[in-house]
Structure 1
Amino acid sequence: MKNVVTVILILLTTTHCGSCAKILGVFSAPGRSHYFLGSALMKALAENGHDVTMISSFGEKKPPKTKGTYRDIVVTEVLENIQEMQKQQKMNMFDRENMNPFISTVFLGYMMPKILEPTLQNKEVQELIHSNETFDVVIVEQFMNDGEKALATHFKAPLIVMSTVGTNFWINTIVGNPGPLSYIPMVMVEYSVPMTFCERLTNTLLYVFAQTFFSLVVHPNQNANIKKNIPNGPDLSDVLYNASLVLMNSHPSLNQPVPYVPNMIDIGGFHVKPSKKLPQDLQEFLDNAKDGVIYFSMGSNLKSADFPPEKRDSILRAFSKLKEQVLWKWEEDVLPGQPKNVKLSKWLPQQDILAHPNVKLFITHGGFLSTTETVYYGVPILAIPIFGDQKLNARTAMNNGFGLVLPYSEITEEKLTQSIKEILNNSKYKENAKKISENFHDRQVSPMETAIYWVEYVIRHKGAPHLRVAALDLPWYQYYLVDVIGFLVLVSAVISYISYYLVRTVCKKICNKRKSKKLKKK
């Protein structure tokens, strides 16, 4: 009997070791919302028995307990760089509300080296690069960091890209996915579909500008960083279009339905976990709110405490007139003029709060994580978008009937009060939120299970090259049939010219014959 047990244990151990993989995740973006998504995926992979290494700007305070291993490499230099830049430029994130999308594109290009270079030059990252360590797959977030994809080539591993904001021109370009500008807005704009002629014109010009700017400025800089920091570093052009898979933080219930090539997989909502019991003070606050609760948070990058005094006071006056309780993520110890019905906290467990039945409204900046979580729990929103994809997400929520948009520049006591009462008193917003939530949940398997399956699929199939579309091997003029169109135009021109020449010659001969006949008669 002991021998049988020993054999079983050996078989189980062998099976586990045979199925576990070494996975490198690179999520160096200095935004906590980006880190939340990356860490959720990497911890789930470790929980599934894989050995995970995570490069990020934050890291875990306590190592997660998993079946596999989880190793953090924290690149603190990235955050330091961004904070120093903000300090020098005296940046207030709320000032970016009306930033021109063309300027936003240049701003992102300026930010990229401040993320890529310190990541690759980090001491622990360099030790990893110069070690003999190998990985079965490398997962890189698609966000201002194309040069980090060279780590997959360096470690001779398949590359998986994760998009934290759904599909966009960055993603479509690297996997050969069609993205018609006629009905797919760029991520920097807030256009509804269908777009007007002027919106389609701006959308097209922005796309051309972004592609040109990236090709001539951003990518050469990234390529230089690769050569400088990775031994025998490959050219960016050799790694840019080498993604085996793209995990999309999106879903048709949230995002506009668009075409996908086979290696683009929707996993929107994968980071949402089953709700847990709230801390006692929050639980009592929510349970005892007989008229309901309004939850207010501007996310992890924007801070409510940075509201100018006139905006803050307008918000406070509007809240003070409500019968509902307000739970506000406020980053300082004191809120001047705080009404009795407002409770403050520097940190709040957002998902668990949204799960509470007494939460009637979520006032949010419209970030994609917050939008996803509010849809998951079926809570209407009032969006105050500032930058990035927030305006597009807010417009989508409004078009889908589960929210309203209040531009930051238009916040007044009257407009805020009116917007809140419209959502609370009109049942259509709650009904639409519940309907979209049902669509969001209606899947064969959970989004996290989908993500893990496809990561392991790429490992099993050595990069899954059969999912790669032929478009990636075509130069741009062949992909867009410029050569074919040019040939057809040329042939048409030649045929037209020959036809014109023949007709002209025939007509000339006929005219000459008529003239000669007239001369003979004379």
Structure 2
Amino acid sequence: MKCMAAIANQLADAGHQVTYFQPFVVELFQNHDLIKNPNIKVIDFWHDEEGRKNLPSDGVLSDAWTSVKYQSDIGVKIFAPRVLHSAFQHMCRRMFEDKELHKMLKDQKFDVVLSETFDFCGLYLADYLEMPAIISVFTGSKLSAITDALGEPSFLHYYPSPSSNFGPKISLYDRMNNLWYKLLSTSAFGELFDRQYADISKIMNGTVRHWKPILGDVTYHFANSNPYLDFVVPTIPKVVPIGGYTMDYKQVPPVSKELDTILNLRPYNVFISYGTMVASKYMPDDYKHSMINLFKHNQNVTFLWKYEDAEEKYIKENIPENVHLSKWFPQQSLLADKRVNLFITHGGLGSTMELAYAAKTGIVTPLFAEQPSNAQMLARHGSVEVYSKHDIPNWKKQSDLLRKMLIDEK
């Protein structure tokens, strides 16, 4: 949502007439303020009663703190199509059943439609409505399932599997693992798109096209990849890397007066955010206990922790005074502030981009999906250390790494 909103804002700022159509697959995010340009026409689209009965819980990925299935090639193949299809299914059904929506969108006479590939429903709809030009967007970096359909060469052996070594450390096992990962990842997301196609084809009596020819016919494909940071892969002219388009540190506002005061309390400041998809409040108890020990044994550091429930009994009773909790922090403003010395992050692509553009050091603790690859991407530049989520209960190990990162000038 953040990435597509950034594209909408930039197009509107450049003088284009922009309509931002937002189907709320997860209604948790309905009260956002991501659309900045007042000239953008916003169309909200909501679940029907059946869809609301099947809304995914905000804790649907809570086991990502400990489970290996989200970073396993086989786990991706088994769980991704099932979990994501069930999350997308009802909104996609509603979008294709609503004939008034179709007429309204056709009447807008759009010149071009930009839609995300991760949930392919928007691209299915744009193609069905015969929009003049379609640009597919992947708000991640690489998605192997769409490579062949776009006409790109394979990035096998250029882009490592999340569990593979790369560079001088690469072995024959790693090369085999890269192949295994590509085959399973391609199959997993291909199955997801096929499931969506089957649902829509049934609703529309077979009048929709398959996702592969749709991708083959797109005018351009925008990839959220920055070639200066990312692993270099072979590509084609219609695949345009736009990584960094959400970054504009010239316009980042300073921190609030309250945060300004907090950042002056101690010699070191560490910002912690594990993102939105896997909430910190769902950490197992031993993880929370370890985090509190980490805080207590580093009293010369102020920790700003994005934590969703500051009133939770265990947290409220045990959190030390050098920790400040909030459901939300102005991430870019904090990373742009010179007093913030270190960022502990889950390694989502948005956070890794913001970390790199702010020229800050970080500890990346990947939880699921492409986050291990994002962590490796930054680690090879020497700006971050990768820390396993399974080592969070070892507070001494994390504390030693924290002190090394704060003190070591390299």
* TM-score, L = length of structure 1: 0.68
The two structures, once aligned, show a CA RMSD in angstroms of 2.7
CA deviations 1:29-50 (Å, max 9, x no partner) are xxxxxx1111111233234331
1: CA distance, partners of 2:380 / 2:157: 18
1: CA distance, partners of 2:179 / 2:96: 42
Q: Letter of the aligned partner of 1:42 in structure 2?
A: A
Larger-gyration structure (1/2): 1
Q: Letter of the aligned partner of 1:307 in structure 2?
A: M
1:303-314 aligned at under 5 Å gives the runs 303-314=279-290
Q: Pick from 291, 307, 311 the counterpart of residue 330 of structure 1.
A: 307
1:280 lines up with 2:268 in the alignment: no
Inter-CA distance 314–235: structure 2 relative to 1 (3 Å threshold): closer
Uncovered stretches (5+) of structure 1, i.e. residues with no partner: 1-34, 429-522
CA deviations 1:89-133 (Å, max 9, x no partner) are x95231334542222122111134324432233369823224442
Q: Which residue of 1 aligns with 2:20?
A: 53
Inter-CA distance 38–353: structure 2 relative to 1 (3 Å threshold): same
Q: In proportion to residue count, which structure has more helix?
A: 1
1: CA distance, partners of 2:378 / 2:287: 24
1:255 lines up with 2:222 in the alignment: no
1:92 lines up with 2:53 in the alignment: no
Moved more, 372-381 or 329-338: 329-338
Q: Letter of the aligned partner of 2:7 in structure 1?
A: L
Contact 1:361–1:379 (Cα < 8 Å) also in 2: yes
Q: Which residue of 2 aligns with 1:205?
A: 180
Q: Which residue of 1 aligns with 2:217?
A: 242
Query: How many residues end up aligned between the 2 structures?
Result: 388
1: CA distance, partners of 2:235 / 2:389: 34
Q: Which residue of 1 aligns with 2:370?
A: 389
1:111-510 aligned at under 5 Å gives the runs 111-122=83-94, 126=98, 127-131=100-104, 132-133=106-107, 134-143=109-118, 145-157=119-131, 158-186=133-161, 188-193=162-167, 195-212=170-187, 217-230=191-204, 232-273=207-248, 274-286=251-263, 288-322=264-298, 323-334=300-311, 335=315, 336-411=317-392, 412-428=394-410
2: CA distance, partners of 1:362 / 1:56: 32
Aligned-partner SS, 2:135: strand
Contact 1:56–1:75 (Cα < 8 Å) also in 2: yes
1: CA distance, partners of 2:325 / 2:21: 33
Inter-CA distance 160–59: structure 2 relative to 1 (3 Å threshold): farther
1: CA distance, partners of 2:246 / 2:342: 21
2: CA distance, partners of 1:325 / 1:213: 42
Aligned-partner SS, 1:255: coil
CA deviations 1:141-162 (Å, max 9, x no partner) are 121x334322222222212111
Aligned-partner SS, 1:373: helix
Inter-CA distance 356–212: structure 2 relative to 1 (3 Å threshold): closer
Inter-CA distance 72–356: structure 2 relative to 1 (3 Å threshold): same
Moved more, 157-166 or 269-278: 269-278
- The Cα shift of 1:85 comes to 9.7
2: CA distance, partners of 1:79 / 1:36: 23
Inter-CA distance 356–398: structure 2 relative to 1 (3 Å threshold): same
Contact 1:299–1:364 (Cα < 8 Å) also in 2: yes
2: CA distance, partners of 1:404 / 1:55: 36
Inter-CA distance 357–62: structure 2 relative to 1 (3 Å threshold): closer
* TM-score, L = length of structure 2: 0.86
Aligned-partner SS, 1:348: coil
- The Cα shift of 1:402 comes to 0.7
1: CA distance, partners of 2:242 / 2:176: 32
Q: Which residue of 2 aligns with 1:83?
A: 56
Contact 2:73–2:180 (Cα < 8 Å) also in 1: no
Contact 2:150–2:215 (Cα < 8 Å) also in 1: no
